[in-house]
Chain A
């Protein structure tokens, strides 16, 4: 199948937002999506963007049932290791179901890795749900290690009221 992987432009944010919701539905947490295309436009296309994004595009003749030509995306940002230096964190990787099995997911992930490599990133990291076997197999096939299984890593989070409370307890300047 003919497809193109390119850097997202601001105008792509509506499509990216649509696919973010599709991915959240797949992960069984659609009620957790709180941001829209407006936040993506603001945070991804400012002077010091919080993230970068790649989109996968197909020609008009291959558009989806609903008429979309932007049919996959990878949203990533740069992280840091005090030992190894810069790394890439792939926050989302998604291809619409009807376009899977054509190498598009691999194309998106590889492009993110290539971009990271040009910026001297030595690691690529991401999260995957433990029940998401197709994705776990996909990443294992790319040589990714599961640090939760091998080293016991857990992601810990403060948000909502707990984050507010923690911040309120900061020493006064």
Chain B
């Protein structure tokens, strides 16, 4: 199947928000457009697009995306964190997810990054199997790092001067 991968622009915002809602069952943050497409964006997106003849029943040609941002490792330096990787169900199994992830890896190296990190839930076997088959390693399983979060009241309390 013919598809292309490219950096997203402001015009793609509506499609990105559509796919975020479907993939995460949540409404995207109100400021997605501003956060991702202003002068100093908080994140970047690559989009997978198919030609008109392969568009979905609803008429969409933008059928997958990867959302990432720059992070830092005090041991390795510049890194990239891939927050979302999504391909619409009817377009899976055709190498689109792999192509999106590879594009992010390529952009990571071009920016002088030495790591591409992301998070997967251990119960999400299809995703875990896919990523492991691509050559990544499970930092949590092999090194023992746990992901911690502080939010809501706990964060308010912590932020008191």
Contacts and interface: CB of A to CB of B under 8 A. Distances in A.
A154 B144 contact: no
B135 A170 contact: no
Closest 7 interchain pairs by CB?
A143-B154, A162-B135, A170-B102, A154-B140, A113-B159, A152-B122, A167-B105
Contacts, number: 246
Nearest to B5: A171
Contacts of A153: 119-122, 140, 147
Interface in A135-173: 136, 139, 142-149, 151-160, 162-171, 173
A56 interface: no
- For chain B, what secondary structure do more than half of its interface residues adopt (helix, strand, loop), or is it mixed? mixed
A103 interface: no
Chain A interface residue count: which class?
35 or more
18 contacts: A20-B75, A24-B75, A34-B76, A91-B71, A110-B158, A126-B148, A129-B145, A142-B154, A143-B158, A144-B150, A147-B146, A152-B122, A153-B120, A156-B139, A157-B116, A162-B137, A163-B108, A163-B115
Interface of A: 20, 23-24, 29, 32-35, 39, 43, 48, 50-51, 75, 77-86, 89, 91-92, 109-110, 113-114, 116-117, 122-131, 136, 139, 142-149, 151-160, 162-171, 173
B118 A156 contact: yes
Nearest to B117: A157
